Structure 1
């Protein structure tokens, strides 16, 4: 109690003196923090969190036992509240929360800029869903199609949807559930070739699109898509586009027209009768070739809802009606779909971003979310912005920030808590406002995040930052960390809708019998997942299904993990996307790329090698911060294209890459022997990244064929 009282008095002194003597504030802060550490030193580090337990013994020497969530080791969650369809999840929430706000959309000011959020209640959403679903039935838009060769389900009522996250997208989703449809989200950035492939594979009749350019894309390919007959546009389509559609024999309707048709001719709900019926076919964006359509049943989605709610509740951070989520990660991706279902179950509020990620910060400041989910790419931008702002401050401000950050990191590592009474009051209350000031916790996934960035953001946001693991095939469920775990770089243990095992990879020297430096068991190998929230297979693709799922139902993730003594899983490598160099050394390029992007001047990296060459080469996109720092230091231009041709800048970038490689203990063969700096970022738009920001290796190899050839020619002189 004494330490708390002392800090309270000291905080008042600090706030008072900061107005008149900033330097004295720093002195008070230092003294207070030192005393705080002394007074709290005897509290000790919290016990290590137990993530998973071995529920079943190993069946053979090349695999580990079966791990389950330590909180729920005796069973796996296989649904939510006994619902047979996600429709009942929505209906239940809408019934008991009818008058509460559910979804917010930013209005438009007279000058066209975004205004305040305008909200729909759960009751109003329910009315819109019923009307839109009835309109689709009236139009005959949900036509049943037969696929006799499919083992899991023979007939489907497919409904396509594409566009950025918005209210009408959610209504479309629930309307599909209401009438027993199978939703097929289409990434709006993947272009007409992918649209054509998916529409033809599913024999889809109806696609709901956000805006006119997407409707135009569909009209341009309609002759190649014989099944496509109806396009519903969320925005009002212009007259000339309607005429073009009519001339093409396509019915183009506005969203509001379908709702009005439904109001005049209401239809009763006809949701899935069995939880094993398909909720959605979620097409994986794919790093090579055509996308694969992953089957997701209602049971699998609801099992994910149950597991994710359970984990947040066990962390004493449950979702509730007062929570606010900013929705901008694409609904076409399974992660945001799973989050959407969890928020629906909890009756939480969702504010949709205005459609432009460049202005996302303004949306965040306006809606002030209480939970924030993102990917390392965006978190790294926030990190860069906060760090740059701190470095631009005056001497006292910069000193206070750096001192506070150092002390908060020590506090975080000692206790697992991201809160510090004194320093949050003095410094980090302001950085917390970067996410609106109300965020209770953050979550990151999709790719690794460096320890430096993760600890920095925990301190600046004053809240836990969970690291999650999952993929389309596991309905975003795999692993999740504990809120008070100070360790970084792990993905926690299995959530309770999956169980896990580790499969040895002899050719990469990974076995389930490996031990750590202290001689304790630390199994290493490919992570395999099985359970109620693991997908059922790929639509119309038996070959890929057999590659992914074995006869016992284990999904082979392709990720290599090591299992720590406390049951925590850590991703250390990739079993897929590996290749041999000419001397026979196996190389996992993703592992190396994840190391290189830790370098200050590296934003993105593509590492390439082949069995005919002895060395690796790399295409590297420099970071904006690295370019600016080098230009300011040398007096050279900040022009990215110019610096990518500058040998001095290249030398500095390579030195940073090598330093990162040594710090992460890459072996000699894992260092790129030649590097080409590239001025343009890898993006979804230039087809070098998937919508979930994974590198498309085949496309990258094709795009950089010339540069790769030149680097090897230089090395082989």
Structure 2
């Protein structure tokens, strides 16, 4: 048995235990960086640091404060906040108290928040600010189990209600409690069993109520060890963490960091990513495909603004990047080295000076690797970044598998695949192409839903992912689609919408979201929303300057421009996959309208329901088979 396998099998029962080990091993090393906005509201943020020992002081105070509030092992403490350092400290505090964290997205409305709080029987809610507190106050009568609300940022929270206390007050009370009970944390952490509930994450279902996914302590302990075993991260890395921590993809990154001991810079403000990257200068970052699409489209649109010559150079450089990345990866697969033909290397060097170096600089100049997950990344965009020296390693997992089941190996990564299983995770492909997983990362089941659990989890531990995929002879997985998202046209042909949508995103620099429709129809159509910033820049050059978004997308010249890209897409598709008609949406899809999830995944049924009129219009008069 290898050392890696031994380490994964002989893991401690919880991340809380790993945290205690990390603090003991490197107390003075930097753990977290976080931004403090200037008091005036003007100018750059001031970035501050916490060492592991300083983090532990706060984590233990939160744990003791929750214990004093009466939190017993496995009792739920809900966390409704955007990504910030206090989210991580609170989550670790809940785990060190032996409790279980219920995660709630801050965008969740009051009704759904109340459902999650009631269904999870959460005793305490840690809320980010006045807006999150207000939701709990509004539904207080429906939440008899909820004994206390703890607010991180109390600005604007009405005073005088002792149901609500501040996080600072909780930590103060916890520190006093620890003085009376100095062994409390050690005792609580030592008592945690591996199968004890650590986290309840409610999946943002596309239909009906969300389901609570039960993830025990051992899931996170396994993930921490398995991520470290991939060798992707080392103690000298700097990770930039902006993903929603209420989502399993963001949450798993906090476990991996504790095992590895590297620095994590935490800031969940998506509008600050471009500004933060040159300040944080990360060596590693995880993101969702939408971020890479936005960067790619932004670079393309900027080149276009610079005039025809500049745009031509960008298009040439983009093709060279893809050609270079494909040649490099093919050669590595067959020979183990990354050399490319001399002529291509020479062109790549010129393109690097003109285009790629600026892209790497925009990411902070030190980025070794990005991990992309949560949805499929269009291979053409993946190859572009690979050729430009920004290595995007696709990974794969679900809430039900604690997020990280597959990831591309650093050196041997293959664009268009999600890599190989993490050490300790098994995979097999069912007869119908569905991906089945088994291993220590798989959930215990859905909270209070045994029938739903039985639908996806077999008695021998195999979990049905609902995704369709193929395994290469040497173990690389390629996801082809969601089982339930595959379209069958009325002519009996299967279409994978995600594949067509991904290809369009690589072709059209103005697209934000696209939904391909065609189930039981005799041709495919698409609903397309455009990126507001990119299309406004285009509008300036095309006689539409100053018009609102809805007017720009309704203009004949915009429809004509997008039609050109649709024809370009169709040229590379099979006849039955081609987009025969499309409609531009009057606004972009967003989380607030429930059309995309907080991790930026498309909710197909919601969008199709919302824009049923436009879909019907595209098939009006068509002779269906």
If the length of structure 1 is used for normalisation, what is the TM-score? 0.77
Among residues 576, 588, 602, which one is paired with 2:511 in the alignment?
602
What is the aligned partner in structure 1 of residue 173 from structure 2? 261
What is the aligned partner in structure 2 of residue 323 from structure 1? 237
Equivalent-residue separation in structure 2 for 1:589 and 1:402 (angstroms): 26
What is the aligned partner in structure 2 of residue 214 from structure 1? 132
When residues 77 and 296 of structure 1 are mapped into structure 2, their CA distance, relative to the original with a 3 A threshold, is: farther
What is the aligned partner in structure 1 of residue 96 from structure 2? 178
Question: For the aligned residues, what is the CA RMSD?
Answer: 3.1
Matched length? 599
Partner SS for 1:341 = helix
What is the aligned partner in structure 2 of residue 621 from structure 1? 529
Equivalent-residue separation in structure 1 for 2:406 and 2:376 (angstroms): 13
Superposition pairs for residues 39-50 of structure 1, below 5 Å?
Answer: none
**Contact 1:77-1:496 at 8 Å conserved across structures:** no
What is the aligned partner in structure 2 of residue 560 from structure 1? 468
User: What is the CA-CA distance between 1:339 and the residue it aligns to?
Assistant: 0.9
Among residues 436, 441, 444, which one is paired with 1:528 in the alignment?
436
What is the aligned partner in structure 1 of residue 408 from structure 2? 481
User: What is the CA-CA distance between 1:406 and the residue it aligns to?
Assistant: 5.8
**Contact 1:477-1:497 at 8 Å conserved across structures:** no
**More displaced stretch, 631-640 vs 615-624:** 631-640
What is the aligned partner in structure 2 of residue 118 from structure 1? 48
User: What is the CA-CA distance between 1:210 and the residue it aligns to?
Assistant: 0.9
Partner SS for 1:340 = helix
Please, which runs of 5 or more residues in structure 1 have no aligned partner?
Answer: 1-70, 145-155, 506-524
What is the aligned partner in structure 2 of residue 26 from structure 1? none
When residues 667 and 297 of structure 1 are mapped into structure 2, their CA distance, relative to the original with a 3 A threshold, is: farther
User: Does 2:275 match 1:348?
Assistant: no
Equivalent-residue separation in structure 1 for 2:81 and 2:427 (angstroms): 35
Cα displacement string for residues 16-35 of structure 1 (whole angstroms, at most 9, x for unaligned residues): xxxxxxxxxxxxxxxxxxxx
Equivalent-residue separation in structure 1 for 2:229 and 2:435 (angstroms): 23
Equivalent-residue separation in structure 1 for 2:511 and 2:311 (angstroms): 25
User: Does 2:20 match 1:91?
Assistant: yes
Partner SS for 1:335 = helix
What is the aligned partner in structure 2 of residue 103 from structure 1? 32
What is the aligned partner in structure 2 of residue 577 from structure 1? 485
Partner SS for 1:546 = helix
User: Does 2:578 match 1:660?
Assistant: no
Please, which runs of 5 or more residues in structure 2 have no aligned partner?
Answer: 330-337
What is the aligned partner in structure 2 of residue 509 from structure 1? none
When residues 208 and 578 of structure 1 are mapped into structure 2, their CA distance, relative to the original with a 3 A threshold, is: same
Among residues 372, 380, 396, which one is paired with 1:452 in the alignment?
380
Equivalent-residue separation in structure 2 for 1:712 and 1:143 (angstroms): 58
User: Does 2:252 match 1:334?
Assistant: no
User: Does 2:115 match 1:200?
Assistant: no
What is the aligned partner in structure 1 of residue 335 from structure 2? none
Q: Which has the larger radius of gyration?
A: 1
Indicate the structure whose relative CO is greater, using CA pairs within 8 Å and at least 6 residues apart.
1
User: What is the CA-CA distance between 1:492 and the residue it aligns to?
Assistant: 1.4
Cα displacement string for residues 76-108 of structure 1 (whole angstroms, at most 9, x for unaligned residues): 788475311111111111111111111122123
When residues 407 and 578 of structure 1 are mapped into structure 2, their CA distance, relative to the original with a 3 A threshold, is: closer
Equivalent-residue separation in structure 2 for 1:382 and 1:94 (angstroms): 37
**Contact 1:77-1:307 at 8 Å conserved across structures:** no
Among residues 281, 289, 292, which one is paired with 2:200 in the alignment?
281
User: Does 2:217 match 1:302?
Assistant: no
User: What is the CA-CA distance between 1:652 and the residue it aligns to?
Assistant: 4.1
What is the aligned partner in structure 1 of residue 334 from structure 2? none
When residues 399 and 707 of structure 1 are mapped into structure 2, their CA distance, relative to the original with a 3 A threshold, is: closer
User: What is the CA-CA distance between 1:452 and the residue it aligns to?
Assistant: 2.9
What is the aligned partner in structure 2 of residue 49 from structure 1? none
User: What is the CA-CA distance between 1:578 and the residue it aligns to?
Assistant: 3.8
User: What is the CA-CA distance between 1:634 and the residue it aligns to?
Assistant: 5.0
Among residues 52, 57, 68, which one is paired with 1:127 in the alignment?
57
What is the aligned partner in structure 1 of residue 285 from structure 2? 372
User: What is the CA-CA distance between 1:378 and the residue it aligns to?
Assistant: 0.7
Equivalent-residue separation in structure 1 for 2:413 and 2:402 (angstroms): 27
**Contact 1:80-1:305 at 8 Å conserved across structures:** no
Equivalent-residue separation in structure 1 for 2:307 and 2:516 (angstroms): 40
Equivalent-residue separation in structure 2 for 1:661 and 1:707 (angstroms): 21
If the length of structure 2 is used for normalisation, what is the TM-score? 0.88
When residues 610 and 431 of structure 1 are mapped into structure 2, their CA distance, relative to the original with a 3 A threshold, is: closer
Partner SS for 1:207 = strand
